[in-house]
Amino acid sequence: MKALLYTHHPEEGSGLLKAILRERGWEVKEAKLWKGEPIPEPRSFHLLILMGGPMSVHDEDVYSFLLEEKQFVRRWVVQGNPTLGICLGAQLIADCLGARVYRGDKEELGWYETTVTEEGKNDPFIRGFPPRFPVFQWHSETFEIPEDAILLVTAPDYPHQAFRFSDVTYAFQFHLEVTEKMLHTWLSGNGVAEEKKQDINATRQRHLPLIHKLCRSFMHPFLGKIERETGTRD
């Protein structure tokens, strides 16, 4: 089994996702688009994962790789292939499916409570989540839900937090993959105010174990479905 990761920034890697994939024996190829590496087509892989980044999906004039990436993502997702998008990755999926991606009223940075929708409670990979749970957010843009997609997780300020398209494409605005090391790196730079750092770190030890538990509770059955259906796809 092989997974392809598109990463968009040196500090926004795969975090816990890569560890889970390797635990299950998957091969993982990371394409560092921010480094100018060639963008591999996902057709020889079983799963495409789109990670986060500080840019907008609309910044093709600055980040030229977005144009080719979107072509691959759009074709891959529309054909019903397994896809997972995190933060910018979620926005890319929404954009490729024709939904509007736009700047919100404010930036979200830190721990925020989210709520599973009624549809999410029936989703095969989300239904094990608690009705309300904290997530780590760092974004200022958001998206509309694409046509034929299902809203799975919501929140007061940014209602569109996670959606599913077809049976095997999932988009999460928040970071379930974030690790202790990633948080330290993100908060050490990027001009984060000291007060904000203290606020995030005050509850880090309480929230991270739950975040990791939820990440695993989603990823293991999600990957299991892909593994079971590989014979029909190959």
pLDDT digits (tens, 9 = 90+) for 178-205: 999 999 999 987 788 899 999 999 999 9
Which pLDDT score, from 0 to 100, does residue 234 have?
44
What is the Cα–Cα distance from 170 to 83, expressed in whole angstroms? 6
Mean pLDDT of 32-57: 95
Q: Dump pLDDT digits (tens) for 104-145.
A: 999 999 999 999 999 999 999 999 999 999 999 999 999 999
Which pLDDT score, from 0 to 100, does residue 39 have?
94
Q: What is the DSSP letter of 34?
A: G
3, β-bridge pairs:
28, 47
What backbone phi and psi angles, to 5 degrees, belong to 216?
Answer: -70, -40
**How is the chain split into domains, by residue range?**
2-233
Answer whether 120's CB lies under 8 Å from 152's CB.
yes
- Name the percent of the chain lying above pLDDT 90: 94
Q: Dump pLDDT digits (tens) for 7-23.
A: 999 999 999 999 999 99
Answer whether 21's CB lies under 8 Å from 38's CB.
no
What is the Cα–Cα distance from 47 to 168, expressed in whole angstroms? 9
Q: Quote the pTM value.
A: 0.95
Domain made up of 2-233: CATH architecture:
3-Layer(aba) Sandwich (3.40)
What is the Cα–Cα distance from 123 to 108, expressed in whole angstroms? 26
What is the Cα–Cα distance from 32 to 220, expressed in whole angstroms? 25
